[in-house]
């Protein structure tokens, strides 16, 4: 199990388009992927749950991944956040 933190650094935060891109990645994996603030974790494969987080720029989120492909899932999620969801600044 991986339990780490990830920072939201893109200008608009985890809005609809960014959440959609995150789901494109998370749904490829068999591992369970949860994200949230503190103990309030949601399914990172569910767009409504992601939108309800209200994670704006500067938020630090907890990322919990568990399963057979957890390392690859972590790498891809981190890369997406680092690339600011491929949005223009």
- Domain with residue 61: its CATH number is 3.30.1340.10
> Per-residue pLDDT for 88 more than 80?
no
> Per-residue pLDDT for 1 more than 80?
yes
Which pLDDT does position 53 carry in this prediction? 94
The C-alpha angle 6, 11, 13, rounded to 5 degrees, equals: 50
Nearest one of 78, 76, 77, 23 to 50, comparing CA atoms = 23
Query: What pLDDT, in 10s, does the model give residues 19-71?
Result: 999 999 999 999 999 999 988 999 999 999 999 998 999 999 999 999 999 99
Active-site residue list: 15
The total number of structural domains that make up the chain? 1
Q: CA 33 to CA 84: how far, in whole Å?
A: 19
pTM, rounded to two decimals: 0.94
Question: 35: domain range?
Answer: 2-86
């Amino acid at each position: 199990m991986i339990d780490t933190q990830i920072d939201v650094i893109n200008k608009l935060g985890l809005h609809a388009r960014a959440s959609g891109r995150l789901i494109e990645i998370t749904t490829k994996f068999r591992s369970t992927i949860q994200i949230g603030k503190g103990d309030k974790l949601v399914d990172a494969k569910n767009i409504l749950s992601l939108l309800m987080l209200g994670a704006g720029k500067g938020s630090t989120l907890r990322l919990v991944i568990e399963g057979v492909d957890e390392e690859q899932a972590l790498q891809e999620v981190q890369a997406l956040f680092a690339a600011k969801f491929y949005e223009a600044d």
